[in-house]
Structure 1
Amino acid sequence: MNYSEAIIKGILLGLFMAISVGPTLFAIIRYSMHHSYKAGIAFIFGVSFSDIIYVTLANIATTWLEFLEDHQDIVGYVGSGLFIIMGLVSLLKKYKPKRPKQGQPIAMSKGAYFKIWGTGFLMNALNPAVILLWVGATISVAGTTLPPRIVFFGSCLGIVLGFDIIKVLLADGIRRRLTLRRILYLNRISAVCILAFGFILFAKVYFHISLGH
């Protein structure tokens, strides 16, 4: 695989991941709606960091990643539990949306941003589909020298992160044009979607339904 092929394949895989509808999409919307684009950025950085770890492990510690794949039921149960808890908390918590004053960002502590970053990291890291995707991507470039593989995964991760940033900015821009009641409704819808993903993931693991594409 030459560099041009690596770039094209990386972009195509990145686009597939970027436009796929998953729990992280609704979490991005929820955090951006709740707080501001900064909270959404913190979340996607957590997601991106877990992707980088998996890509690194897939290329230098394949046996460890294969161990995770072999124990995907455990990972699936933990991941589904995280999604269900997150969805229930968001759905049941009494949330009063606040519209920031013009030019005044919503104040958040560094600890709050780190918590959001950790949520993004865990939501992505404990999703068995993510593990299977990176294992499959690594297998698809097996036998390729290191530089083209770096270009392939770099292009893919760059596309995913770029689209996630666009999602955050769009969500924040939409939030500023919505009424507080509609923001509350969107928050409930987002919570229900995350909760549904949790139950779907649990059902797939419990009934041994394929977690692949």
Structure 2
Amino acid sequence: MDIYDFKNALIIGFFMAFMIGPVFFMLIQTSILKGARAAIVFDLGVIIGDLTFILIAYYGSRPLLEKIKDDPRLFFIGGLVLVIYGLITYFNKENKKEALESAKIIEVPIKNNYLKLFLKGYFLNFINIGVLAFWLGTVLVIGPALKMDQTAIFWYFGTILISYFVTDLGKIVLAKKLKNKMTPRVIYRVKKIMGIILIVCGVFLMLKGFIPSEKIDKLIQ
């Protein structure tokens, strides 16, 4: 994995940490009510949930990837998945109150039970099928781009998850300030921005299926 892929993975992980949804608010809520340690345990459950989805997406689609790894249409498919996910994010009407109510589906216990917190983080993330769609689209694009090198793919997605986790640590530390600043208007804007970013990334990937890589790289630079 070269430095460009490394930076790309870091950026993906960073922006993922700010995807607005039940997990985002549950993490903030847990940090405020139960402390940083409890929030970190909860977040580790979320990370393992993401890892599970990555493994499902990778091994579930590996036979397909091996057959069409040199087929440019694969970039179109992966880009289309990201565009659809971006459109869903952009047009989602869920506001702060609804997201907080979703997060409260699983109540935080009075006493810290780290195993329960870990499992809550895992299952709250795992039941979101949109997360699987996101990882599937990413795997469909990254696998062939890294020439199906299993080690490179491992480090790429490992970097994403590490970047995601480190960013979440910052959110945990700043939880009280974040909660005060997360007004419905701010949430609305953040979701719009995230949706646009996903759509733009998806469009670039779709174009990569029809335009030579050299021209795409020059355009990005």
Q: CA deviation at 1:88?
A: 1.7
C-alpha separation between the residues in 2 aligned to 1:49 and 1:65?
24
1:168 counterpart residue number: 168
1:70 equivalent in alignment to 2:73: yes
1:61-111, Cα deviation, whole Å (9 max, x unpaired): 75345277534323322331122112321xx3232276x99x778x96976
Indicate whether 1:115 and 2:118 are aligned.
no
Paired residue for 1:137, among 132, 137, 146?
146
| Contact 1:80/1:197, CA 8 A, preserved across alignment | no
Q: Which amino acid aligns with 1:196?
A: I
Where in structure 2 are the equivalents of 1:130-209 lying within 5 Å? 130-138=139-147, 150=151, 153-180=153-180, 182-184=181-183, 185-201=185-201, 203-204=203-204, 205=206
| Partner-residue secondary structure (3-state), 1:178 | helix
Question: Hey, what's the Cα distance between the residues in 2 that align with 1:136 and 1:110?
Answer: 29
Flag structure 2 segments of 5+ consecutive residues without an equivalent: 28-38, 101-106
Query: Residues 195 and 49 (structure 1 numbering): CA distance in 2 closer, same or farther, change over 3 Å?
Result: same
- Does structure 1 residue 124 correspond to structure 2 residue 135? yes
Q: Secondary structure at the match of 2:18?
A: helix
> What is the match of residue 86 of structure 2?
83
Output the CA distance in 2 between the equivalents of 1:155 and 1:206: 26
| TM-score relative to the length of structure 1 | 0.59
Give the Cα separation in 1 of the matches to 2:132 and 2:75: 17
Within 2, Cα distance between the matches of 1:13 and 1:198? 19
Does the C-alpha gap of structure 1 residues 170 and 14 become closer, same or farther in structure 2, counting only changes over 3 Å?
A: farther
User: Any stretches of 5+ residues in structure 1 without a counterpart?
Assistant: 1-8, 142-148
- The 1:63/1:179 distance shift into structure 2, 3 A limit, reads closer
- Residue 90 of structure 2 contacts residue 192 of structure 2 at CA under 8 Å; is this kept in 1? yes
In structure 2, how many angstroms separate the alpha carbons of the residues matched to 1:110 and 1:133? 24
CA apart distance, 1:191: 0.2
Q: Which moved more, 1:49-58 or 1:15-24?
A: 49-58
| Partner-residue secondary structure (3-state), 2:174 | helix
Aligned to 1:5: none
Aligned-residue identity in percent:
11
Report what 2:35 is aligned to: none
**Structure 1 equivalent of residue 96 of structure 2:** 95
Q: Equivalents in 1 of 2:153, 2:202: separation in Å?
A: 29
